Amino acid sequence: VEYDGTRFPAIIFGNIANQLRELNGMTFKESDVFVVAYPKSGTHWCYEIVAMLRNNSSELTKQSPPLIDRLPVEKLRQVSDGVRVSHLLPRHMPRDSIERRCKIIHIYRNPKDVAVSYFNFLKKTKEGELIKDMKFDVFFQMFITDQLHRGSWIDYVKEWTDFKEENVEYPLLNICYENMKKDLRGHVKIIADFLEVKPSEELMDKIAHKCEFQTMSAFKHNNIPDSMCRITEVRDKHIMYRKGEVGDWKNWLTVAQSEALDERIQARNLPLEIHYS
């Protein structure tokens, strides 16, 4: 469905206008934290790090992260550690969370890898029924012409970076997936500093180890939350954790497709470092 200048997946999100209204009726604590991302940019990865740091633990969660776009507000109120995730644009974030200046971590990823990840993910979900037999080139065309059901990748990162530019003092941290892949331990520290928590060096080592792709995906494959079973028929493994690599797009995109996306990004002047290696 189209709503307020962007798109939402009606099948799983139900009535988005209602959801946004309900979110605007919620109150938060100053200490609450949001991880925001365009889908397939590392939302779950970043969420686990934030949740561990906040809980002073190195245990991976067995639940899906509380996604504010979809969960009923009664459930969202029950989030005890105050960490929630969102794929919403800044203008759709719950009003009180922004007024209270809750901390926000925005994770972004090379959109070429995002497109590949999204294609592979959707094909395994009930919401992806319509693209089951679709070829990647058709899907990619939809991705770069903003026809996918989560709206435009470029608009998403542009609106979040604009939000920070317009609200320089707002506690928002941009994290790049590729940088986090290169230096996970360093990013655990960056995130801890941003959250103003003081974990021991040993705990940060453990968190980094638990959040390595191999460790995390093995754990998640063995602990599939019920909510995941509702969106997919695949019950024997966790479809959120596919390859966790940088640059898989080179196995999928043609030179022409890659250049077409580059041109669109250059035309929008994104103030972000985007890694194409």
Q: Is 243 in the site for ligand A3P (CB under 6 A)?
A: yes
Q: Is 240 in the site for ligand A3P (CB under 6 A)?
A: yes
Point out which span in 16-24, 38-46, 97-105, 190-198 binds ligand A3P (CB under 6 A).
Answer: 38-46
- Toward ligand A3P, which CB reaches closer, 100 or 190? 190
Q: Is 44 in the site for ligand A3P (CB under 6 A)?
A: yes
Q: Residue holding tokens 């067995």?
A: 62
Q: Is 204 in the site for ligand A3P (CB under 6 A)?
A: no
Q: Is 149 in the site for ligand A3P (CB under 6 A)?
A: no
- Toward ligand A3P, which CB reaches closer, 185 or 242? 242
Q: Is 88 in the site for ligand A3P (CB under 6 A)?
A: no
- Toward ligand A3P, which CB reaches closer, 17 or 241? 241
Q: Is 161 in the site for ligand A3P (CB under 6 A)?
A: no
Q: Is 151 in the site for ligand A3P (CB under 6 A)?
A: no
Question: Which residue from 8, 34, 45, 194 is in contact with ligand A3P, where contact means CB under 6 A?
Answer: 45
Shortest gap between Cβ of 165 and ligand A3P (angstroms)?
Answer: 24
Size of the site for ligand A3P (CB under 6 A): 21
Query: Are 43 and 56 a contacting pair, CB within 8 Å?
Result: no
Shortest gap between Cβ of 267 and ligand A3P (angstroms)?
Answer: 25
Q: Is 49 in the site for ligand A3P (CB under 6 A)?
A: no
Q: Is 136 in the site for ligand A3P (CB under 6 A)?
A: no
